Amino acid sequence: MTWVILFLSSVFEAVWATALGRSDGLHEPVPTCVFLVGVVLSMAGLGYAMKRIQLSVAYAVWIGGGAAMTVLYGVLTGHESASPLKGVFLAGIVACVVGLKFVKGSENGEDGRGGEDGEDEGSGEGSGKGTDDHRCPARNP
């Protein structure tokens, strides 16, 4: 579920970036409202994902996915030209982001974020997993 939320968050990143470009410096009301809603949803999803996925991977997926979708939107709507090199570089962004997913967070492969791939598999009360204990000791009574 965390990966779905992160993907949707990067979609909202592309939405807010596109809306910001159409807002005429935040002077057009509809694109400005779309920008504001998009940025809040995008950041909320990214924040949620960063609790469960290694920070470098979550951020790379979010920014890379959003950038790729923004370029694709521009090409599909005719606001940007398509070229073979643009396709190669977009594929490179995707390949690099996927590659980060397979790199371990430390020498022993533990990044302090839950399961082996960085996603929290057993979060929930009483499970002993998925808590923020290692980051915020003041929360523990």
Which has the higher per-residue pLDDT, 40 or 124? 40
Is 28 within the bounds of a domain?
Answer: yes
> Which residues span the domain enclosing 90?
2-105
The label of the residue with tokens 């057993």 reads 122
**Type and span of the H or E element at 30:** helix 29-50
**Within a domain: 9:** yes
In a domain, 139, yes or no: no
Cα distance between residue 10 and residue 95, in whole Å:
16
Total residue length of the chain: 141
pLDDT at 133: 42
Residue 11 is assigned to a structural domain of this protein: yes
What are the tens digits of pLDDT across the range 85-97?
Answer: 999 999 999 899 8
> Which whole-number Å values give the CA distances from 10 to 33, 47, 56, 61, 137, in the listed order?
18, 12, 15, 8, 31
Q: What is the pLDDT of residue 104?
A: 67
Cα separation, 75 vs 47, in Å, equals 29
Contacts of 80 (CB under 8 A, 6+ apart): 71, 74, 86
**Number of domains the chain contains:** 1
Q: Is 36 within the bounds of a domain?
A: yes
* CA pair distance 11, 18, nearest whole angstrom: 11
127 assigned to some structural domain: no
Share of the chain above pLDDT 70, in %: 73
| Structure confidence by residue, pLDDT tens digits, 98-120 | 888 887 654 434 444 544 344 44
Q: Does any domain span residue 6?
A: yes
Assess if residue 138 is contained within a domain: no
pTM for this predicted structure: 0.71
